[in-house]
Structure 1
Amino acid sequence: MQSVLAAFPRRPLTLKPGRSATGGWVLAILGLLLFGGFLVLVGAQIAPEIRDDLAIRDTARPAPQVRVNGGRCRSRLFMFQDCEVTLTWRGKDGTGTRTMSYMFVEPHMGSWNVMPMMDPARPDLVSTDLGIERLTNRIVTAIGAVIVALALIAGGFVAARKAQRISGEVKALSGRVLEPVPVAFDGWGQQTWKIRDEHGTAFEWPVGKKDKPFVLDEQRGLMLALRPAEGGPAFPLDEKLRFVTLSPEERAAIRQAGGLPPT
Structure 2
Amino acid sequence: MHPVLAAFPRRPLTLKPGRGSIGAWLMALLGLVLFGGFLALVAVQIVPEIRDDLAIRDAAVPAPQVRVTDGRCRSRMFLFQDCEVTLTWRGKDGQGSRKLSYMFVEPHMGSWSVIPMMDPARPGLVSTDLGLERLTNRMLTAAGGVVFAILLIGGLIVAATKGQGKAREVKALSGRPLEPVPVRFAGWGTGPSWRVQDERGATFEWPVRKKDKPFVIDAQRGMVLALRPTEGGAAFPLDEKLRFVTLSAEERARVRQAGGLPPT
Give me the TM-score of the superposition, normalised by structure 1: 0.98
| Correspondences of 1:62-211 after superposition (within 5 Å) | 62-190=62-190, 191-211=192-212
Q: Deviations over 1:34-83 (max 9, x none)?
A: 11110000000000000100111011111111111111111122221111
| Correspondences of 1:229-244 after superposition (within 5 Å) | 229-244=230-245
Counterpart in the other structure of 1:261: 262
Q: Deviations over 1:8-27 (max 9, x none)?
A: 11111000011001111111
User: 1:71 & 1:192 partners in 2: Cα distance?
Assistant: 47
How far did 1:242 drift? 0.5
User: 1:249 & 1:69 partners in 2: Cα distance?
Assistant: 75
User: 2:250 & 2:97 partners in 1: Cα distance?
Assistant: 74
Unaligned runs of 5+ in 2: none
Overall identity of the aligned pairs, in %: 75
Counterpart in the other structure of 2:225: 224
Superposition RMSD in Å:
0.9
How many residues end up aligned between the 2 structures?
263
User: 2:210 & 2:153 partners in 1: Cα distance?
Assistant: 23
Unaligned runs of 5+ in 1: none
How far did 1:110 drift? 1.0
Aligned with 2:224: secondary structure?
strand
Q: Deviations over 1:208-247 (max 9, x none)?
A: 1111110000010000000001100000000000000000
Aligned residue identity for 1:250: E
Aligned residue identity for 2:23: G
Aligned residue identity for 1:225: A
How far did 1:207 drift? 0.5
